[in-house]
């Protein structure tokens, strides 16, 4: 496969399930974590393991995502938000 920087599609709601779990070695549910970050529910983010990941851990998911979501940016924003609210 020739790689280029094309997105090969446009952004959609998270649609296909089960493709992230294959790509994350951690014992977390990536899709649910991403959704919690999108809605900004900090308690749910903490429960789903926001402190166990950093954006690059989900880089493979971002590569493979059918819906072309910007996952790393979402996780980064989630971490920033958690840091501000919890005051670490």
Partner 1 sequence: MTLRNFFDKLKPNFSKGGRFEKLSSTFEAFESFAYTPNTITGGEKFARYRGCHIRDAVDLKRTIITVVIALMPALLFGMWNIGHQTSISNGLDWIFWHQIWFGFLRLLPIIAVSYIVGLTIEFLFAEIRHEEVSEGFIGTGLIISMIVPVTIPLWQLALAVAFAVIIGKEVFGGSGYNILNPALLARAFLFFSYPSRMSGENVWIAADLWGTDAITCATPLGQLMSGQPLQVSALDMFIGTIPGCTCETSVVAILLGAVILLLTGIASWRIMLSVVIGGGLMGLLFNTIGANDYMHIPFYYHYLMGGFAFGCVFMATDPVTAAHTNTGKWIYGFLIGVFAVMLRVVNPAYPEGMMLAILLMNCFAPLIDHCVVAMNIRKRKKRWAIAERRNIR
> Residue 49 carries which DSSP code?
T
List the one residue from 21, 54, 80, 85 that touches partner 1 (CB under 8 A). Answer: 21
Sorted by sequence, the CB contacts under 8 Å of residue 57 that are 6+ apart come out as 24, 26
List the one residue from 24, 32, 42, 79 that touches partner 1 (CB under 8 A). Answer: 32
Rule CB under 8 A: is residue 34 a binding residue for partner 1? Answer: no
Rule CB under 8 A: is residue 38 a binding residue for partner 1? Answer: no
CA angle 24, 87, 47 (to 5 degrees): 35
For partner 1, the closer of residues 27 and 88 by Cβ is 27
Rule CB under 8 A: is residue 17 a binding residue for partner 1? Answer: yes
């Amino acid at each position: 496969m020739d790689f280029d920087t094309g997105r090969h599609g446009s952004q959609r709601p998270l649609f296909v399930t089960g493709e992230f779990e294959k790509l994350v070695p951690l014992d977390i549910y990536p899709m649910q974590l991403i959704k919690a970050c999108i809605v900004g529910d900090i308690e749910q983010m903490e429960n789903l393991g926001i402190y166990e990941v950093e954006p690059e851990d989900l880089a493979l998911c971002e590569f493979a995502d059918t819906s072309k979501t910007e996952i790393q940016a979402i996780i980064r924003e989630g971490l920033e938000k958690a840091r501000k609210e919890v005051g670490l």
